[in-house]
Structure 1
Amino acid sequence: MNAPQLVRHSLHESLVAPVREMILNGELRPGQKVPEEQLCERFGVSRTPIREALKVLAAEGVLQILPHRGAIVARITAEQVEELFPIMASLERLAGILACDRATEADIARLGALHDGMMACFEAGEEVDYLRYNRLIHEGFFAIAGNATLSTYYQQVLTRIHSCRFVMRKSREHWLAAVAEHRAMMDAFAARDAARLGALMEAHITGTTAGIARAFIHGEPGPEPADTPDSRTGKARNR
């Protein structure tokens, strides 16, 4: 019997995921030049595997490699918003439906705790941490859904719309709308109302999230953290 073959990943392949995560979490921002030398120091490698990893991310549409300039974090376009956000919305809808069917009480409690943490960040005007919790909640629905192919598609689309999902600042109006929608989604999840949760998640992406993306593209500024509105009154709160 033949011995099983070992799968060996090249060095540059092991670098793709952590560099992609730096983009998704906002450490590398849209339009920013990728600092190759800093990445070499951070990961303890030479420029060659870093550049090979950047080529992979460029093929994914996350980066642009420009002559004499190197790699630049790609900016999403208005055309991509109209093309990709309906796809993301459909994926989120299905994840919500499947999650309601498969969730344990522990799953519901875990996402509820994340939601509580996100709301605390909203109240404190901590938008960076709010966005981090937001991403964990949405990824949590996909994890609970238990469909590996669905999760793969989600991550592929998420990577392409990185600058308009979990790293951009919101206007006061958009932030209030997003908070209200998240509360409704968590209520539907706790009630295991699959149809309602799916519809709410789809509407959240095609409505508020896509609206934030369009504002982001057109350069409309979001609020400073100290200008964050109170979730009950809608008035600005100072920290």
Structure 2
Amino acid sequence: MTVDGRVSRLNRGTTAEEVAALLRETIMDGRLKPGEQLREEGLSAQFDVSRRTIRDALGILARERIVRHYRHKGSRVVLFTEEDIRDLYRVRKTLEGSAAARAATLTDAELRPLSEAFDQLAQATDSGHAQEIVERDLEFHRAVVGLIGSARVDDFFAGIAVEMRFALSILETTYRESAHRPAEALDEHRAICQAFLHRDPTEAARLVQAHADANERLLVNVVASTDITALTP
């Protein structure tokens, strides 16, 4: 398994955070597949860093829930189960539903980050760059959650953001050849944004639920169609 050409830039002074960042991006863009094994010895040689640094980097990714460690069997890129997807989206729907409940009382200043996030998502969708779409999609939903107005909730969302980004990356990778899904998703985000801008809590709640339900169904279908027999440790 080769991560990418940037490995040659690393040296013995490289930190676990830097290794984790490179591995994270490689997972997100699909070069490391769900279920793929991450061998400490091979990664240590490839990055030219100590196995301790690799172990610490994998620990960072495990805390972000995109790598899973199996006792006596090493680490693998997370292979989502159906329950993982449902649980992740249960959290997201709870948070975004709480934001929708505040729609009627939000000020123009509070709504501006959401409007800006949608504009950036629209530009990314036009560009067709998969990882840029994923990043802007996540930022849009971060802006929705930000409308709750709670620093603690923002911190909580940041804690699941990497896992959510991984889920969105799987969707984007799976459906990037589809001519209609990116356009459909953008239309769904546009409608959500408009419902908030119109201060309509009922419509905002309905739309965030419908959008999350659609993504959840697609991801569950991806999980159900994955052959895990060769990947299970």
> TM bucket by the smaller chain?
0.5 to 0.7
Please name the residue that 2:223 is paired with.
Answer: 217
Please name the residue that 2:122 is paired with.
Answer: 119
SS class of match (1:198): helix
Calculate the TM-score normalised by the size of structure 1: 0.65
Calculate the TM-score normalised by the size of structure 2: 0.67
Is residue 84 from structure 1 mapped to residue 88 from structure 2 by the alignment? yes
Output one character per residue of 1:89-118: Cα deviation in whole Å (capped at 9) or x when no partner: 11222134447645543x534432332232
Unaligned residue ranges in structure 1 (runs of 5+): 1-10, 221-239
Give the aligned length.
Answer: 204
Structure-to-structure mapping, 1:9-20, within 5 angstroms = 18=21
> Cα–Cα, structure 1 residues 131 and 108, in superposed 2: closer, same or farther, change >3 Å?
same
Shift of 1:136: 1.2
Determine if contact 1:24/1:167 at 8 Å carries over to the other structure: no
In 2: Cα distance, 1:161 partner to 1:130 partner:
13
Shift of 1:200: 1.6
In 1: Cα distance, 2:60 partner to 2:33 partner:
18
Shift of 1:24: 7.8
Is residue 181 from structure 1 mapped to residue 185 from structure 2 by the alignment? no
SS class of match (2:68): strand
Output one character per residue of 1:60-84: Cα deviation in whole Å (capped at 9) or x when no partner: 6431234676422101112222333
The runs of at least 4 aligned residues of structure 1 exceeding 6 Å deviation read none
> Cα–Cα, structure 1 residues 24 and 95, in superposed 2: closer, same or farther, change >3 Å?
farther
- Percent identity of the aligned residues? 22
Determine if contact 1:93/1:201 at 8 Å carries over to the other structure: yes
Determine if contact 1:61/1:160 at 8 Å carries over to the other structure: yes
Output one character per residue of 1:27-59: Cα deviation in whole Å (capped at 9) or x when no partner: 754234447338956xxx643143134235435
Deviates more, 1:183-192 or 1:55-64: 55-64
SS class of match (1:165): helix
Unaligned residue ranges in structure 2 (runs of 5+): 1-14, 227-233
